[in-house]
């Protein structure tokens, strides 16, 4: 009996142990089952994609960005192949050894490549890491040839923006860069090509049109990442739209050569159509620096340049227009009856305002003597326009300056265009809480004082004058939509009289720009010299400071021709260049000379020949001694 009792007790203990063991087993299997449920059901899609990624790769085909052409079909911006050195860790059995081989074979920094891998440690193992963004062609071909020696390392060809003319028209064409925050918001089919977007100029203005639709293919790869076969049908990419500009790269080249070593801006237009044939800002930059992301050294150099190479001075630079503004004062005087074509003033070099002891001076010491309006424009007589401006008043000057397009943006479409400033009584009261004083009007009458304009506004004003009051909006694109032409309510007789004065500037004795005269091509022009500091301030400086370039006047010259039927207008602004006739006029002359020799087609009977010898000589040859 005792033995049987022990057996029952032992059986109870065994039973308890079995129950506990069974519970543990059930718990373990429950945990395993729940984990399997999590992996296969909850996270099943994720790991299925990972598994698929072990053998199937999506190979994208980014769409090519649209090409930019000039008016004659010259390529200004295109796409070139960039060879990316990529590594997929999943296909690289010995990462350190592979990096060492690549470093030695291609003469690349092991440390830099390793840093790239560390920076992407969160990236899925089967996704590529870019080790080198733009590898030299020879190195790329070497790796392609001996790819079996570099498991997991591949060469992928990506489109890279390329500007064959480098710095030419950089501010107008613009540049591209790598997109930042907005990329993820784009449609899937535009993501790859949209990683490179326009950051300025035409590249930004037409960015949405130049971005294409991406394509791609699914490819099966082996354990080393090599493509075995394409799965399914590839989807071809669709390139972005091409863009044709009104720009003539030939004139752009001439303008750049003529401004070599100077800072400022040059603009060439067709006043009849508003087409911008050339637009340059100096100093300039090479947009190719930005195509793959600019390095810190080059970026710092551009930002540190005191002459601001990243600023498009043609539309963003604000300058006193100086004597070119006299055409506005002249028109205001005629329209308001303050002067007539026959009105004369005596210029003895000084002009006095009641209550002011210091006179306003004419640029010509001793004065111009007795002059009428045409003479005053021809010789750029300050005293004549002091008288006219005071008679008209600042508010009327403001009114007619606005009619000529000053004090407001032109609407050319380029980003950050500035409006400048044309002062008035209302503006003075609003800004300084004080009225406009008559002693401020003489400076305004000759384009100084508070007045600021951009070079594009100034040539736009001259185009209105040359085009009988018809405003043709400045246009960059061959097929440009937007602002429409507008007839400005200006009187033809007054415009004609001012044009007569501008023709005299270049072609008559005593004109300020006689050296720009052409024998068979009548040019109308206007010089200007705008002060950067007042005469009062200048007198406080010592001789060394006065000679400093930063205190030298800005030099302007603007011209159009042929005067009787204008088809080209040219403006040059040379920052701190000194006199307009000495510095800016030669720049315009070189551009006009090229235009006449190579582009201009005289109308029947318009060209005149004086002798057999003259007939065989080019305009530029005849002008070789024009400047001395």
Report, as residue numbers or ranges, the catalytic residues.
323
> Would you tell me how many other CB atoms lie within 10 Å of the CB of residue 560?
28
Element (H, E) at 623: none
Q: Are 529 and 554 contacting, i.e. CB atoms less than 8 angstroms apart?
A: yes
User: Pairing relation of β-strands 554-561 and 345-347?
Assistant: unpaired
CA dihedral (400, 402, 407, 410) positive or negative: negative
Find out whether the peptide bond into 398 is cis, omega within 30 degrees of 0.
Answer: no
In a 13 Å sphere around the CA of 421, the CA atoms on its Cβ side amount to 16
Place of tokens 């159509």: 273
Cα 455 to Cα 461: distance, rounded to the nearest angstrom: 10
Q: In the numeric block, which tokens belong to residue 422?
A: 């044309």
- Look at phi and psi of residue 270 and say left if phi exceeds 0, alpha if psi is from -120 to 50, else beta: beta
Output Rg (C-alpha) for the chain, integer angstroms: 36
Q: What is the DSSP letter of 452?
A: B
Angle at 445 between CA 440 and CA 451, to 5 degrees: 75
Cα 616 to Cα 514: distance, rounded to the nearest angstrom: 24
Helix 326-335 to helix 394-403 angle (10° resolution) is: 110
Cα 450 to Cα 427: distance, rounded to the nearest angstrom: 11
| Residues in Cβ contact with 594 at an 8 Å cutoff, skipping those fewer than 6 apart | 250, 251, 254, 620
Q: How far apart are the first and last CA of the chain?
A: 141
Nearest to 311 by CA among 275, 259, 263: 263
Place of tokens 């918001």: 185
Which parts of 484-566 fold into alpha helices (H)? Answer: 492-507, 535-539, 543-546
Q: Are 99 and 114 contacting, i.e. CB atoms less than 8 angstroms apart?
A: yes
Q: Is 205 exposed, middle or buried (0-12, 13-18, 19+ CB in 10 A)?
A: buried
């Amino acid at each position: 009996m005792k033995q049987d009792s022990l057996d029952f007790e032992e059986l109870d203990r065994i039973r308890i142990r079995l129950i506990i063991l069974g519970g543990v087993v059930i718990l373990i299997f429950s945990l395993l089952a729940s984990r399997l449920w999590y992996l296969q059901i909850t996270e099943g899609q994720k790991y299925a994609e990972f598994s698929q990624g072990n053998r199937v790769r999506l190979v994208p085909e980014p769409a090519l960005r649209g090409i930019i052409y000039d008016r004659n079909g010259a390529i200004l911006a295109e796409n070139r192949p960039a060879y990316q050195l990529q590594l997929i860790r999943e296909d690289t059995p010995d990462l350190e050894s592979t990096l060492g081989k690549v470093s030695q074979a291609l003469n690349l920094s092991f440390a830099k490549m390793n840093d790239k891998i560390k920076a992407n440690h969160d990236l899925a193992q089967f996704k590529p890491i870019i080790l080198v963004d733009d590898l030299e062609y020879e190195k790329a071909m070497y790796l392609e040839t001996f790819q079996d020696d570099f498991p997991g390392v591949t060469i992928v060809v990506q489109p890279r923006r390329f500007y064959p003319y480098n710095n030419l028209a950089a501010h107008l064409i613009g540049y591209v860069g790598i997109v930042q925050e907005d990329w993820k918001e784009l449609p899937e089919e535009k993501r790859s090509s949209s990683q490179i977007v326009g950051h300025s100029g035409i590249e930004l203005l037409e960015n949405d049109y130049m971005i294409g639709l991406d394509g791609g293919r699914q490819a099966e790869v082996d354990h080393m990442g090599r493509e075995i076969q394409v799965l399914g049908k590839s989807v071809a990419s669709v390139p972005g739209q091409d863009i044709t500009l009104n720009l003539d790269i030939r004139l752009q080249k001439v303008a750049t050569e003529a401004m070599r070593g100077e800072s400022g801006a040059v603009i060439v237009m067709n006043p009849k159509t508003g087409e911008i044939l050339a637009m340059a800002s100096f100093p300039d930059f090479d947009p190719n620096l930005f195509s793959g992301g600019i390095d810190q050294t080059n970026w710092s150099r551009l930002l540190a340049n005191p002459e601001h190479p990243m600023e498009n001075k043609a539309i963003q630079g604000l300058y006193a227009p100086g004597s070119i503004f006299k055409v506005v004062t002249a028109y205001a005087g005629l329209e308001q009856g303050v002067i007539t074509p026959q009105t004369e003033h005596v210029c003895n070099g000084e002009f006095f305002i009641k209550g002011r002891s210091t006179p306003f001076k004419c640029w010509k010491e001793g004065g111009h003597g007795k002059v009428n309006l045409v003479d005053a424009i021809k010789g750029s007589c300050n005293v004549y326009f002091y008288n006219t401006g005071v008679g008209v008043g600042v508010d009327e000057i403001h009114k007619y300056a606005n009619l000529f397009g000053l004090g407001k943006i032109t609407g050319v479409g380029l980003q950050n265009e500035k409006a400048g400033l044309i002062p008035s009584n209302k503006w003075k009261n609003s800004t300084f809480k004080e009225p406009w004083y008559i002693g401020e009007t003489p400076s305004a009458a000759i384009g100084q004082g508070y007045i600021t304009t951009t070079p594009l506004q100034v040539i736009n004003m001259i185009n209105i004058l040359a085009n009988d009051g018809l405003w043709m909006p400045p246009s960059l694109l061959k097929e440009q939509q937007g602002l429409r032409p507008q007839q400005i309510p200006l009187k033809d007789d007054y415009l004609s009289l001012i044009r007569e004065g501008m023709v005299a500037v270049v072609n008559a004795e005593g004109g300020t720009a006689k050296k720009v005269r052409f024998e068979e091509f009548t040019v109308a022009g206007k010089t200007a010299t705008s002060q950067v500091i007042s005469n009062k301030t200048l007198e406080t400086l010592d001789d060394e400071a006065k000679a400093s370039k930063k205190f030298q006047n800005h030099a302007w010259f603007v011209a159009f021709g042929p005067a009787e039927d204008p088809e080209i207008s040219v403006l040059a602004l040379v920052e701190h260049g000194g006199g307009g006739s000495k510095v800016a006029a030669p720049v315009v002359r070189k551009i006009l000379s090229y235009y006449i020799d190579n582009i201009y087609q005289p109308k029947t009977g318009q060209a005149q020949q004086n002798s057999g010898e003259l007939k065989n000589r080019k305009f530029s040859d005849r002008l070789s001694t024009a400047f001395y």
